[in-house]
Copies of this chain bind each other. A is one copy, B any other.
Amino acid sequence: MDAFWEYERALMANDLVALDRLFAPGPDTVRGDAGGILIGHDTISAFRNGRGGAPKRAVLEVIVRHIDDDNAVVIAVTSPATGGRGQQTQVWNRSAGTWVVTTAHVSSPAPAIGAATWRVVGTPLVAGATSGALVGRSVAVKDLFEVEGFAVGAGVPAFLAEQSPALGMAAAVSALLDAGASVTGIAQTDEFAYSIAGKNVHYGTPPNPAVSGAIPGGSSSGPASAVASGQVDIGLGTDTGGSIRVPASYNGLWGLRPTHGAVSRSGLLPLAPSFDTVGWLTRDAATLAAAAATSLDSAAQSSVGAGLAIAPALSALLTDEVREVFAAAVDGLARDAVSPAALPPDAVSPAALPLDIVEVDLGDLDELFEAFRMAQASEAWASWGSWVAAHPGALGDDIAGRFAFASTITEQQALDAAAAWDDARAKLDALLGDRVLVLPSASSVAPSTTASAAEIDVVRAGTLRLTCIAGITGRPGLSVPALWVRRPTSATPVPVGLGLVGPRFSDLALIGLGEQLAGRIAALR
């Protein structure tokens, strides 16, 4: 079949014009691979433009199944230049005398290790206790925690090269092992956890299985991707400025940043200790609660019951599609429009919900964020400044730029930042009281891996103004996979998290509230 070989030659030559011509025009063309399904000729074309050529390969065999004179299925067995076997199924259609691909499904051989997601994995790497609430469950440990026998890498190869194997386990790792969970491996992080993007210049960008071609968010990027991909049940991460809540939001996961100080940071590399927290990412609420219970002191935990708060001014930070789905969810909750019969059987009745919602004014959001950013940067420099200064070129541009800024903070500025942070915390605490603030976990859905730095900066600025509220107050922040954006170019709805910021030590109660709200929002649809 001439058209097939023309396509193959164009693919190997990365002849984008020919490839575009050989794929059917219009919104119905479909292409799927391990990264997900792309719908529409232009979406597929943009993907090709962004990837810089397909991996080199040979075609070992071609199987053609003619449907009729103008339609055929072509199945090719491919052999990548790097070894192994792949498969590609294409449905071809001839219209106006020209053959074009209408649907394509591409499979490549799996690598030994997903290097963007993992630094090391085993079967398991560390076995857990033989009894406990988490027996049979698996964990991805962010590469900031000590795992006995392995050096901590912090997403920075030059740092890893200088470390010795850890002599013991970080407290949060031990807690999971003692409860019966096993450690599958050590998962990648943004460099020194100082980013919310999930892109690591050394190890790559972990896949986001919920959104084809999108970044996973970070800095707990590896644990989040591993959980979303079904490779483990629990991601053990950290959240300083959003590093659990943002990847949870982008990947459609549950993610908890606990009350600051409620979980031991023993055996954890610091970023900014006044804001650093140890938390978890999971696919369901029950697993999140069980994982969190291994490290939280149940005697210190409190309930939530004083109602919800929303801050209308935050909507200016959101993309249109996030603003819409969040507003629809809040409207639905506020209307109390759901009859008990319409709820899923395992949901609590609306009568049990803290339905009273008040609007609050958080004040100047830029000022809030600036207080957080200065205090965080000042502490980050205290943690890593001397190492960063001694290793020029060891970090990617964006993280290096953040440390460069941090290096300029004077002692006076640091004192001013601490004072501003104190003020902001007092003000927010007074405003929120015992209420749970409800807000989107991120300003946007997961941006494309090919988004420009400028596009990323815009959504980052919005997202950090949302996530810093928990950071400033030390309150727990939960991301609930309850909001979904529908797009014609995506086969499945695109997630954004419903964020809850509760009173200090309401961590476990917040998960229960999240389940209730998620059930209600699902029933609204």
Question: What residues of chain A have their CB less than 8 Å away from a CB belonging to chain B?
Answer: 28, 30, 32-34, 36-37, 39, 60-61, 63, 65, 67-68, 71, 73, 75, 77, 80, 82-85, 87, 89, 91, 93, 102-103, 105, 107, 109-115, 117-123, 125, 138, 140, 149, 165, 184-185, 203, 209-210, 226-233, 283, 491-492
- A32 vs chain B, min Cβ distance (A): 5
Asked if B227 contacts A83 (CB within 8 A), the reply is yes
With A61-B491, A67-B67, A105-B89 known to touch, is A75 a contact of B149 (CB < 8 Å)? no
Q: With the chains together, A501 CA to B242 CA distance in Å?
A: 63
Asked if A112 contacts B226 (CB within 8 A), the reply is yes
A203 — which chain B residues lie within 8 A by C-beta?
Answer: 123
Most buried by B among A93, A112, A228, A492: A112
With A85-B36, A123-B115 known to touch, is A30 a contact of B75 (CB < 8 Å)? yes
Asked if A32 contacts B83 (CB within 8 A), the reply is no
Asked if A32 contacts B89 (CB within 8 A), the reply is yes
19 contacts between A and B (CB under 8 A): A28-B65, A33-B107, A37-B75, A63-B491, A67-B71, A82-B230, A83-B231, A85-B492, A89-B105, A105-B105, A107-B107, A109-B229, A110-B114, A112-B140, A112-B185, A113-B121, A115-B123, A120-B122, A120-B125
With A71-B67, A105-B87 known to touch, is A120 a contact of B118 (CB < 8 Å)? no
Q: With the chains together, A36 CA to B71 CA distance in Å?
A: 25
Q: With the chains together, A30 CA to B77 CA distance in Å?
A: 12
A123 — which chain B residues lie within 8 A by C-beta?
Answer: 113, 115, 118-120, 203
For this chain, the copies found in one complex come to 2
- A182 vs chain B, min Cβ distance (A): 11
- Give which listed residue, B93, B113, B229, contacts A184 with CB less than 8 A: B113
A228 — which chain B residues lie within 8 A by C-beta?
Answer: 83-84
A110 — which chain B residues lie within 8 A by C-beta?
Answer: 34, 110, 114, 229, 231
With A77-B491, A84-B209, A121-B121 known to touch, is A65 a contact of B30 (CB < 8 Å)? yes
Asked if B30 contacts A63 (CB within 8 A), the reply is yes
Q: With the chains together, A215 CA to B209 CA distance in Å?
A: 31
**Chain B, residue nearest A103 (CB):** B73
Sorted nearest first, the 10 A-B pairs with minimum C-beta distance are A83-B230, A84-B230, A112-B231, A120-B122, A89-B105, A115-B123, A113-B121, A110-B110, A84-B229, A82-B230
**Chain B, residue nearest A284 (CB):** B83
Asked if A112 contacts B109 (CB within 8 A), the reply is no
Most buried by B among A30, A87, A227: A87
Asked if B87 contacts A32 (CB within 8 A), the reply is yes
Q: With the chains together, A277 CA to B149 CA distance in Å?
A: 31
**Chain B, residue nearest A122 (CB):** B120
Asked if A61 contacts B120 (CB within 8 A), the reply is no
A67 — which chain B residues lie within 8 A by C-beta?
Answer: 67, 71, 91, 93
With A121-B121, A230-B82 known to touch, is A77 a contact of B492 (CB < 8 Å)? yes
A33 — which chain B residues lie within 8 A by C-beta?
Answer: 107
Q: With the chains together, A115 CA to B204 CA distance in Å?
A: 23
A91 — which chain B residues lie within 8 A by C-beta?
Answer: 65, 67, 73, 91
Q: With the chains together, A30 CA to B65 CA distance in Å?
A: 9
Asked if A185 contacts B71 (CB within 8 A), the reply is no
**Chain B, residue nearest A232 (CB):** B112
Asked if A109 contacts B209 (CB within 8 A), the reply is yes
A226 — which chain B residues lie within 8 A by C-beta?
Answer: 112
Q: With the chains together, A301 CA to B387 CA distance in Å?
A: 50
- A466 vs chain B, min Cβ distance (A): 26
Asked if A107 contacts B32 (CB within 8 A), the reply is yes
- Give which listed residue, B75, B120, B165, contacts A32 with CB less than 8 A: B75
With A102-B73, A103-B65, A492-B77 known to touch, is A84 a contact of B231 (CB < 8 Å)? yes
